Amino acid sequence: MKEKKARFETEVIHTGYQEEQFHGSLVPPLYQSSTFTFANAEQGEKRFAGLEDGYIYSRLRNPTVKILEDRVAALEKGEAALAFSSGMAAVSAVLTNLTKSGDHILCSQGIYGCTFGLLQLLKGKYEITHGFSAMDSIETVEKGILPNTTVIYIETPINPTMKLVDLEMVAKVAKEKGIPVVVDNTFCSPFLQTPITKGCDIVIHSATKYICGHGDVIAGLVIGDKEWIRHVAFTTQKDMGGIISPFDAWLLLRGVKTLPVRMDRHSENASRIFTFLKQHPKIDTIYYPGDDKHPDYQIMLKQMRQPGGMISFSVKGTKETAQQFMNQLKLIKIAVSLGDAETLIQHPATMTHAVVPEEERRKMGIENSLLRLSAGLEAWEDIKEDLEQALDKI
């Protein structure tokens, strides 16, 4: 008889850890050790040759990190996962592993500023080119694919315009052409969206955000099939060295336990904030996947459990108007991260996407009056009142 699969809310707490293997400790132990001893020289030889399972050195594997990787792989419905020292370490490892000089990367119409910076670096140093596609139809995806395209890289929702990409549609085109699809799932977390179940191949997270949830860890995660993850672990990650510390992995294990509860609250607060903002006369445009007027609303219903905790909006006026508004906020913090308990706001054109040339930013839909808000866990009325008093002053 097939073993019953635990539900998500149970998996975030239990998957990947058996306390009986660790003296009955309810909480996974922290293995803050750089290296591991061998019983004898022959055991060391076997482990280095891959003939015996076990730990060698924490840059290669660590028991605390492995619990995190096993848990996140299960949450994302993947076979295996790798933890990294940052989200960009994860992105860098994936893109360098899947490309070589002369290859091409097809991206969604908008990506995180540092990912854009990495693409520019790959182009300048290694002649790995990239292009952007709206990915709003099979035709636009096919048109963006070149003979040397080896990766399709997607953000959905896109940072910060909140545009969605139909993952099943892109995956279908990619499968026919034998191109792996990589999805940055940071804005959703595995609680809201699991791209692998939609046919995509690799999932990336800046675990700094919703996976952690408390603003005290910088980390990244990559999820994929077992053989590919093993290959990345013993080549790209091992040799480039972007590994996570055991303590940060331990903190993420603590944070992820409350992911479903937090995501419900983030999403609820975002929905209420959206309702308030859309009625305010000083707000020009709002980008929120839960808006039934959003052009990708049907995609949200198809592939996301909830619209999520992120909202982008433009105030009526200029860059200076947007900055004036931000400077009047009292409860809401001006900061570039997201997914924390605190509500955060930032100005993409001068902050997260400042590295992107203005012409490219505008093509991505990032205007100078655009602001991105990450709904926190506070009482939504307090968030609303802070937004209201700041809007009154511009």
Would you say residue 1 lies in a domain? no
61 and 173 part of one domain: yes
Contacts of 385 (CB under 8 A, 6+ apart): 331
Instruction: Check residue 20 and give its pLDDT.
Output: 86
Position 256 scores a pLDDT of 98
Residue 221: predicted pLDDT: 98
Same domain, 38 and 147: yes
Q: Are residues 203 and 236 in the same domain?
A: yes
Q: Of 276, 291, 273, 290, which Cα lies nearest the Cα of 345?
A: 273
- The per-residue pLDDT for 6 is 85
Q: Contact 100/127 with Cβ under 8 angstroms?
A: no
CATH of the domain at 290: 3.90.1150.10
Q: Which domain holds residue 327?
A: 259-391
Contact 314, 288 (CB under 8 A): no
Q: Which residues 6+ apart lie within 8 Å of 90 measured at CB?
A: 82, 84, 204, 205, 206, 220, 221, 222, 242
Domain end marker among 256, 286, 313: 256
The values of phi and psi at residue 68, to 5°, are -60, -50
Instruction: Tell me whether residue 3 is in a domain.
Output: no
Report if residue 372 sits inside a domain: yes
Q: Pick the last residue of a domain from 221, 256, 291.
A: 256
Same domain, 280 and 182: no
212 with 273, same domain?
A: no
Complete edge-to-edge strand list for the sheet that includes strand 149-155? 80-84, 220-224, 202-206, 181-184, 149-155, 104-108, 129-133
The verdict on 201 and 214 lying in the same domain is: yes
Note the pLDDT of residue 2: 55
Structure pTM? 0.95
Mean pLDDT by runs of 10 across the 394 residues of the chain is: 77 91 91 96 94 94 97 98 98 98 97 96 97 97 98 97 97 98 98 98 98 98 97 94 97 98 98 97 97 96 98 96 98 97 97 93 92 98 98 95
Q: Domain end: 237, 256, 275, which one?
A: 256
* Domain match, 252 and 263 both: no
Asked whether residue 130 falls in the same domain as residue 66, the answer is yes
Say if 4 falls within a structural domain. no
**The predicted structure's pLDDT at residue 1:** 45
Question: Do both 85 and 156 map to the same domain?
Answer: yes
